[in-house]
Amino acid sequence: MFKKILIANRGEIALRIQRACRELGIHTVVVHSEADTEAKYVKLADESVCIGPAPASESYLRADRLVQAALQTRCTALHPGWGFLAENSRFASLCAQHGVTFVGPRPAVMELLGAKTPAKRAMRAAGLSLIPGSDGPLADVDSALRCAGEIGYPVLLKADFGGGGRGMRFNGSTVAQRAPEMRYAVTSSSAATCRP
């Protein structure tokens, strides 16, 4: 069990991780930007480290500063929470390079599952059932229409990499109810995959 964890996130996310650590008897170190100095999660932490100015790009998204904060406070683990760098395999690798345990998937797992096409291949190879859909990015409108015809409408077009579901809507740009909407959606997307 870890004795001291750096929480590489802020706000409600950091509070939830703090609460779990407290219940497990784990000492917490939080990071914060200059703008979050008086935030509740900072006040409730066992220790805190300021990692930079208010913009997330200059603080919470700076992997080097997060690992440095873990090392300077002698944390043996780093919990990324969600968002920010939580799904960044390079960040997880950087933690490992410096002897800090990344609380989450190993970098190789993140790389494998970060894009839909290799993730589907890995699941198929493991014998898991898959939702019907394209085997990879759609090459053109005709292949998209063929795929949609095979699996049936409505279909959802998603980027091969990313696209966690936010903003999915029935307006023809991401969800197609019939062929004309599919044609429009494919011509306005890049590297999309198709599924019901």
* pLDDT 10s digits, 64-95: 999 999 999 999 999 999 989 998 999 999 99
Q: The domain that contains 75 carries what CATH number?
A: 3.40.50.20
Distance CA(109)–CA(93), nearest Å, equals 11
Give percent of the chain with pLDDT exceeding 70.
89
Distance CA(11)–CA(175), nearest Å, equals 33
Q: Which domain holds residue 191?
A: 130-195
Q: Pick the last residue of a domain from 77, 111, 145.
A: 111
Task: Average the pLDDT over each of 141-145, 162-166, 184-188 and give the range with the smallest value.
Answer: 162-166
The torsion angle over the Cα atoms of residues 64, 48, 82 and 112, rounded to 10 degrees, is: 30
156 is a domain residue: yes
Question: Where is mean pLDDT largest: 45-59, 123-137, 154-168?
Answer: 45-59
Distance CA(42)–CA(22), nearest Å, equals 14
How confident is the model at residue 168, as a pLDDT?
47
How confident is the model at residue 136, as a pLDDT?
83
Q: The domain that contains 143 carries what CATH number?
A: 3.30.1490.20
Enter the pTM of the model. 0.74
Residue 103 has pLDDT above 80, yes or no: yes
If asked whether residues 107 and 142 sit together in one domain, one would say: no
If asked whether residues 98 and 28 sit together in one domain, one would say: yes
If asked whether residues 52 and 107 sit together in one domain, one would say: yes
Reported confidence tier of residue 137, pLDDT bands at 50, 70, 90:
confident
Which is it for the CA torsion 172, 178, 184, 189, positive or negative? positive
**How large is the average pLDDT for residues 50-68?**
97
What's the Rg (C-alpha) of the chain? Answer: 21
117 is a domain residue: no
118 is a domain residue: no
The DSSP output letter for 51 is E
Average pLDDT, the chain: 88
If asked whether residues 97 and 36 sit together in one domain, one would say: yes
Reported confidence tier of residue 181, pLDDT bands at 50, 70, 90:
confident
CA nearest to 138, candidates 99, 100, 194? 194
Number of structural domains in the chain:
2
Residue 97 has pLDDT above 90, yes or no: yes
**How large is the average pLDDT for residues 98-107?**
96
If asked whether residues 144 and 102 sit together in one domain, one would say: no
Which is it for the CA torsion 44, 45, 47, 48, positive or negative? negative
